[in-house]
């Protein structure tokens, strides 16, 4: 069985100029926008008390994003908020709520824009969902290996969508090139590069709504703050959003944040392992069941936040996510069931491996994961690809060979 890789963060620190992006005030502004959308509700925070005992920790909470706006994943939070901010700036407003965004008057004033994006599924679906409701257009490029159900979800939202021959990063370039050649268009992408940082920052703030909800739900459950947070990363936007929000929320004693990536696309882990502060890029075909994490180039804004604040970086083989899916889907008696997709369950699988397997004892001790630990994880997607979900949960694909 391929082992998880891990690196304790010893990267050189920067001036931390991007941390303010995820301040409480800015995240609260995003949450207020989302709460203006019909159908908004905080997603559940599942308390897995019995699983926590089984893993030898004090508490385990899983933020369940399987029914966010009926789309099965958290990604819509970022795309919708970025689009709202873009339109607000185009029309000279400080902020816009959903009712004004969807008004005929605003559409007449703004005209019609085309939002271009690249996606492995969930982000593109969220952008398409938002564009359709605002009377705008969306064009989505998907990488080689994307599944037909994920493509169909995007087409059902009225977007133009195609599966390309290149990988995710190739599709990002296609989206940027197409937008540059199309009047009244913009790229809505959750990765940042030199010269393209504003919109990814808005997307990260949109993701902050999920972290804001989780912090409130923990307080209502009697937990002031978690001791540890496990969060997954593709380009790193979600991870940095969560890391940044909790670093701002608890500046004197922040939780230890552990970043989990797919081994096939572990650009952040490779940067941490190199130790020089620079980021690394994973090239070529990226084959992993964690489609939402199959990204080879990091968001440079996110990388800055993560290298300044994260405790540890993990490189996770596919069996880690598969085991997490099965553990959440068939929980211990008395615990709630969490239906989690491949990218959503990797943190559960990683936590279980670290706390259960002797080969990760050194890491367990380095992170001080013990009977006093209260852990927060994010299940970022539900069953977004039913066929593949059944192959893993029903048929036992990608087993963990224990013992």
| Position 401 in a domain | no
Are 306 and 375 in a shared domain? yes
Judge if 216 and 134 occupy the same domain: no
- Taking the C-alpha atoms of residue 277 and residue 11, their distance in angstroms, rounded to an integer, is 6
- Domain containing 359 — which CATH number? 3.40.50.1100
What's the confidence (pLDDT) of residue 402? 59
What is the average pLDDT across 311-336? Answer: 97
- Which of these ranges, 231-245, 313-327, 388-402, has the smallest mean pLDDT? 388-402
In this structure, the answer to whether residues 243 and 383 fall within a common structural domain is yes
Per-residue burial over 247-272, b if 16 or more Cβ lie within 10 Å, else e, is bbbeeeebbbbbbbbbbbbbbbbbbb
**Do residues 14 and 156 share a domain?**
no
Residue 392 has pLDDT above 90, yes or no: yes
- Is residue 310 over pLDDT 90? yes
Averaged over 110-139, what is the pLDDT? Answer: 93
Residue indicated by tokens 């819509």: 76
What percent of the chain has pLDDT above 70? Answer: 99
Clarify whether 395 is annotated catalytic.
no
Q: What is the pLDDT of residues 246-285, one digit of tens each?
A: 999 999 999 999 999 999 999 999 999 999 999 999 998 8
User: What is the model's pLDDT at position 295?
Assistant: 92
20 domain residue, yes or no = yes
Residue at 194 is within a domain:
no
Instruction: Give the residue from 159, 189, 219 where a domain finishes.
Output: 189
Catalytic residue, from 13, 63, 90, 120: name it: 120
Structural domain boundaries, residue 357: 5-74+199-393
Asked if residue 132 has pLDDT above 50, the reply is yes
Do residues 160 and 102 both lie within one domain?
Answer: yes
**Cα torsion 155, 160, 164, 166: sign:** negative
**Within-domain flag for 232:** yes
Based on the number of CB atoms within 10 Å of its own CB, is 233 exposed (0-12), middle (13-18) or buried (19 or more)? buried
Q: Is 403 domain-assigned?
A: no
Averaged over 305-328, what is the pLDDT?
98
Are 180 and 226 part of one and the same domain? no
Annotated active-site residue 63? The verdict is no
**Per-residue CA distances from 372 to 52, 83, 270 (Å):** 11, 42, 31
Mark which of 189, 210, 234 sits at the end of a domain: 189
In a domain, 169, yes or no: yes
Q: What's the confidence (pLDDT) of residue 155? A: 97
Q: 89 and 65 in one domain?
A: no
Mean pLDDT over 288-311 rounds to: 96
The overall average pLDDT reported for the chain is 96
Residues 80 and 70 in one domain: no
What's the mean pLDDT in 286-299? Answer: 94
* 131 within domain boundaries: yes
Domain identity same for 315 and 225: yes
Last residue of a domain, one of 189, 219, 234: 189
- pLDDT over 50 at 403, yes or no: no
Under the banding of pLDDT at 50, 70 and 90, the label for residue 388 is confident
Residues 184 and 49 reside in one and the same domain: no
Domain count, the chain: 2
**Domain membership flag for residue 398:** no
* Residues 101 and 49 grouped into a single domain: no
Residue 100, judged by CB atoms within 10 A of its CB (0-12, 13-18, 19+), counts as: middle
Residues 138 and 113 in one domain: yes
Residue-wise pLDDT for 11-60, tens only, equals 999 999 999 999 999 999 999 999 999 999 999 999 999 999 999 999 99
Quote the percentage of the chain above a pLDDT of 90: 93
User: What pLDDT, in 10s, does the model give residues 337-374?
Assistant: 999 999 999 999 999 999 999 999 999 999 999 999 99
Do 184 and 116 touch, CB atoms closer than 8 A?
A: no
Strand partners, 315: 5, 261
Q: pLDDT tens digits for 51-108?
A: 999 999 999 999 999 999 999 999 999 999 999 999 999 999 988 899 999 998 998 8
Average pLDDT over every residue of 324-346? 97
């Amino acid at each position: 069985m391929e082992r998880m890789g891990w690196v304790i963060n010893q990267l050189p620190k920067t001036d931390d100029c991007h941390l303010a992006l995820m301040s409480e005030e800015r995240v609260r502004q995003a949450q207020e926008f989302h709460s203006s959308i019909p159908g908004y509700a905080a997603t559940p925070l599942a308390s897995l008390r019995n699983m926590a005992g089984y893993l030898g920790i004090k508490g385990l909470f899983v933020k369940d994003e399987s029914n966010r706006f009926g789309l099965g994943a958290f990604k819509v939070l970022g795309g919708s908020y970025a689009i709202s901010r873009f339109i607000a700036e185009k029309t000279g407003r400080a902020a816009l709520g959903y009712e004004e965004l969807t008004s005929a008057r605003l559409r007449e004033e703004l005209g019609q824009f085309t939002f271009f994006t690249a996606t492995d599924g969930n982000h593109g679906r969220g952008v398409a969902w938002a564009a359709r409701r605002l009377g705008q257009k969306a064009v989505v490029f998907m990488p080689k290996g994307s599944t037909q159900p994920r493509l169909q979800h995007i087409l059902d939202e009225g977007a133009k969508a195609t599966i390309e021959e290149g990988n995710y990063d190739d599709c990002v370039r296609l989206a940027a090139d197409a937008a540059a050649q199309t009047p009244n268009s913009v790229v809505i992408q959750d990765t940042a590069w030199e010269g393209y940082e504003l919109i990814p920052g808005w997307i990260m703030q949109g993701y902050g709504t999920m972290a804001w909800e989780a912090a409130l739900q923990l307080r209502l459950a009697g937990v002031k703050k978690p001791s540890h947070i496990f969060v997954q990363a593709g380009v790193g936007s979600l991870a940095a959003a969560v890391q940044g929000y909790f670093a701002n929320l608890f500046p004197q004693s922040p939780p230890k944040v552990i970043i989990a990536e797919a081994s096939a696309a572990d650009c952040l882990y490779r940067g941490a392992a190199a130790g020089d502060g620079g980021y690394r890029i994973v090239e070529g075909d990226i084959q992993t069941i964690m489609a939402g994490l199959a990204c080879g180039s990091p968001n440079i804004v996110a990388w800055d936040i993560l290298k300044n604040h994260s405790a540890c970086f993990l490189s996770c083989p596919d069996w880690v996510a598969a085991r997490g899916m099965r553990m959440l889907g068939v929980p211990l008696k008395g615990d709630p069931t969490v239906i989690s997709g491949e990218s959503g369950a990797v943190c559960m699988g990683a936590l279980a491996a670290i706390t259960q397997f002797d080969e990760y004892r050194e890491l367990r001790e380095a992170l001080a994961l013990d009977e006093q630990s209260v852990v927060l994880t994010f299940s970022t997607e539900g069953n977004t690809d039913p066929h593949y979900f059944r192959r893993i949960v029903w048929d036992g694909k990608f087993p963990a060979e224990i013992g």
